[in-house]
Structure 1
Amino acid sequence: MDAKRTIDVQDFIDHHPFSAYQKAILTLCFLIVAVDGFDTAAIGFIAPALKAEWGLTPQALGPLFGAGLGGLMLGAFIFGPLADRYGRKAILLFSVAFFGTASLVSMYSANLEQLVVLRFLTGLGLGGAMPNSITLTSEYCPAARRSSLVTLMFCGFTVGSAIGGLTAAQLVPAIGWRGILLLGGVLPLALVPVLWFVLPESVRFQVLNGHAGERIARTLRRIAPGADLQDARFVLKDHKAKGFPARHLFDEGLGRGTVLLWATFFMTLLIIYLLSSWLPTVISSTGMSLQMASVVTAMFQIGGTVGAILIGRFMDRNPPGTVLAIAYALGAGCVALIGVSHANPWLLGLAVFCAGVTISGSQVGANALAAAYYPTHVRATGVSWASAVGRIGSVLGSMSGGVMLAAGLPLSLMFAIVAVPALLAALTIFVMGRLEAQREAAGANA
């Protein structure tokens, strides 16, 4: 056999069965985003306890939600380019350890101001963990199954959110809001040693950055133990870019798609975080118990899990932009339905579930689309910066809920307003999908 033969590592991954090792990577990244989801949902459910203990108004809680999301935004802006420069694993480990520690310290907050600062620091770590989990998972997935596998991994967020909401609602009376923050700190810190020993660096990143061939071969043998990799030279179709990674998001025909992805993430996360942050409070204000409100709100996360799996499978078989555009358009109707069904718990639960399927499920699909859209040398930056721009929407969404409640808007009008960004997201992702199809066709004909 030719001793100088070359092996394209992505082709290697594409042409071998999805191994137990790759499933372990997917599972660990699932757990990382599940802890993120737990944290996101729990803060919404401890809000009533904070309001009661510290005598806060709904508007005063707005900065608390906004601080964590502001940290998420800044963390995504910072840690994406760092991951493209220094590696996905190192940034993931640091991010998980950082947000776990910050959450742990948050339980000792003596007032709202201290908690706001610590929520911002927690968000910094979360902002680095989630996009890099998406990136690392994507780079170990075969191309034909990438969307469905990445969306399956990201279901960790919706599962963690559902568990976080239900756990917080049931445990706050027993262990208080400080106990919930304790859980939010202990869980990620317990995960760090496992990540250290089991999680690999991206094999695509290793090749792109000239890591030793034997190190790359060791990683690939864990995917395919019987593969003959002796004296192979490992290559990748992508190239290593120079300079600050973010500027390359607008190179090579990526610019228009980048802007449209950013717009889609902005609209979607505005809706998701408004609903995640304020649904418990809104539903409780109608006279429903907090426990029942937690069940109804959890339907959004459960729907998101179901939607992510279904949408991911459809995206692997159909044009992804079209699939997501249809889902977002349906989601607009589901969100509007929430505002007119609050008098009927069963109808309300169904509307919230369907909003989760279409809106939250579509956001998971958009993450998979972003990971597939960008080449290796800017993938972490591309996914992270799309997430960061989306976090601007999440900050506005989480704070606008308090503003609309304080203004006394009827629930029907409030949720009709919230449905508008879903229609805009349908438009932007559809256009992005058409542009990407044209770009791929032009590349194939070149």
Structure 2
Amino acid sequence: MILPPAGGLRFYRPGVVLLIALTVVLDGLDNQMLGLAAPALLHEWSLPRAVLGGIFALGFVGMALGTLGAGQIGDTRGRRVALLLGVVVFGVATLATGFVAQVWQLAALKMLAGVGLGGVPGTAAAMIAEFTVARWRSLAVTFGVVCVSIGGILGGAMAAQILPALGWRWLFWSSGAGTLVIALLLVRLLPESPGFLACHPARRAELERVLGRLGEHLPLSAGRNSLSPPLADLLRGDLTRSTLGLSTAMLSGMFLVYLMFNWAPTMLAAQGFALRDTSLGLTLYNIGGTTGALLAALAIMGLGSRVTLPVLAGLAVLVCAFLALAPLQGAGLPMMIGLGLLGLTGSAAQSAMFALGAHAFPLPLRARGMGLMGAAGRIGALVSALAGSWLVAGRGGFFAVLGGLMIVNMLSFLTVRGHIPRLARGRAEDLR
């Protein structure tokens, strides 16, 4: 086998991780389009908030289906196939949303977008874990997942410029078209995961090529067993506590994340904030989430996830209490600071949780384990969509509910059995 030059070896692994992370940026960007457009859309179409809540709920039904489907495809057909399929589906749906003329069309496309959006973060997390050496795996997976927030930051910046000048339709057209252009590049550039290839003997030659680009040797045991264990194994033995704990943590955590994504701009508008400031509030939350998640990944390397994740969730409870009581004077500065802190703690814990899932679930069950965990999160997101239409009326109730859910989040982290230990070293488990 002919290997590429040493320089190519050095940059191939981080280059692939960045390509995978780019799909999560697109997921975060397209995922927040309707939430960012909501205040303008409600005004233009004279829609009651409950109707928009139902549309969000349909989106989360699609996400739950997409998450489970991506997990099955990822463990049987390949992580790459599942990831690219999801990006193309939500790119097409987002672009088409800019042309809708009736509520039922908006609802149908939101559900279709949800099918594509649902499986991307979990599949990307599993794929990044399998392209990264054990020592840096937690940081790499967390970096990939926080790209949801980076997409949110881009979306908030786009909305602040596009909504006042061009209207909400251009927000969907810009995001959807950009997504599809990047998807075409990914089809050509993105390789299959070596972890998946190692479980499929018929693709041994492809595994050798990928490992050659990574500068690694093929383990003797790779590709000898193509049997896929049943999904029920996730609820047997030592995996039971990890599966249930992670699923409960994801349910409560995604309630927070998607209530913020979809309803925070509308809640801020109800409190008297201008349209530009509602986008700024969500942008600050996403900046905090991105920063906090990367700091959390570094903390996991030094302290392990059993300490880091419950502490972040506990701090988020205190931030929710502050937001429920923060004064609105001074151009809402305390509220804006609080939203950034909520991202730094609560959102960060949810992003870092994907690294825990990639560690806790064994390789043959990883995509389906992440899919089950993600589907539980979509249930939390679905409930947030329905509850958000009445929670936005009162700031106190909005953040009190989130504080209670962060308590559940913290307790769920404590029940997980397969936590990431402190600063794992070595490369022996790179295909695990």
After TM superposition, the score normalised by the length of structure 2 is 0.90
Spell out the pairing of 1:282-301 with structure 2 (5 A cutoff): 282-301=267-286
8 Å contact kept, 1:87–1:205: yes
Alpha-carbon shift at residue 253 of structure 1 (Å): 2.0
Spell out the pairing of 1:137-156 with structure 2 (5 A cutoff): 137-156=128-147
The equivalent of 1:395 in structure 2 is: 382
Counterpart of 1:346, as a letter, is: L
Counterpart among 393, 408, 412 of residue 424 in structure 1: 408
Name the SS for the 1:103 alignment partner: helix
The equivalent of 2:324 in structure 1 is: 339
Alpha-carbon shift at residue 241 of structure 1 (Å): 4.1
The equivalent of 1:304 in structure 2 is: 289
Counterpart among 390, 399, 402 of residue 415 in structure 1: 399
Alpha-carbon shift at residue 233 of structure 1 (Å): 5.5
Counterpart among 78, 83, 91 of residue 82 in structure 2: 91
The equivalent of 2:179 in structure 1 is: 188
Distance 2:46 2:316 in 1: 36
Distance 2:20 2:419 in 1: 30
The equivalent of 1:270 in structure 2 is: 255
Spell out the pairing of 1:59-208 with structure 2 (5 A cutoff): 59-208=50-199
The equivalent of 2:5 in structure 1 is: none
Q: Deviations over 1:76-106 (max 9, x none)?
A: 0111011101111112121111111122222
After TM superposition, the score normalised by the length of structure 1 is 0.88
Counterpart of 1:151, as a letter, is: T
Identity of aligned residues (%): 28
Counterpart of 1:282, as a letter, is: M
Distance 2:398 2:130 in 1: 40
Name the SS for the 2:167 alignment partner: helix
The answer to whether residue 221 in structure 2 is matched with residue 235 in structure 1 is yes
Distance 2:30 2:283 in 1: 14
The equivalent of 1:9 in structure 2 is: none
8 Å contact kept, 2:29–2:154: yes
Alpha-carbon shift at residue 353 of structure 1 (Å): 0.8
The equivalent of 1:371 in structure 2 is: 358
Alpha-carbon shift at residue 193 of structure 1 (Å): 2.2
Alpha-carbon shift at residue 128 of structure 1 (Å): 2.3
Counterpart among 342, 355, 362 of residue 342 in structure 2: 355
Distance 1:233 1:370 in 2: 24
Q: Deviations over 1:307-358 (max 9, x none)?
A: 1100011112222022100000000111221121251422111111111011
8 Å contact kept, 2:31–2:117: no
Counterpart among 38, 43, 46 of residue 47 in structure 1: 38
Counterpart of 2:316, as a letter, is: G
Provide closer, same or farther for how the CA distance between residues 216 and 412 of structure 1 changes in structure 2, counting only shifts above 3 A.
same
Name the SS for the 2:351 alignment partner: helix
Distance 2:72 2:115 in 1: 14
Provide closer, same or farther for how the CA distance between residues 209 and 29 of structure 1 changes in structure 2, counting only shifts above 3 A.
same
Gap regions ≥5 residues in structure 2 = 1-7, 422-432
Alpha-carbon shift at residue 368 of structure 1 (Å): 0.8
8 Å contact kept, 1:213–1:234: no
Distance 2:262 2:308 in 1: 27
The equivalent of 2:367 in structure 1 is: 380
Deviation >6 Å, runs of 4+: 434-437
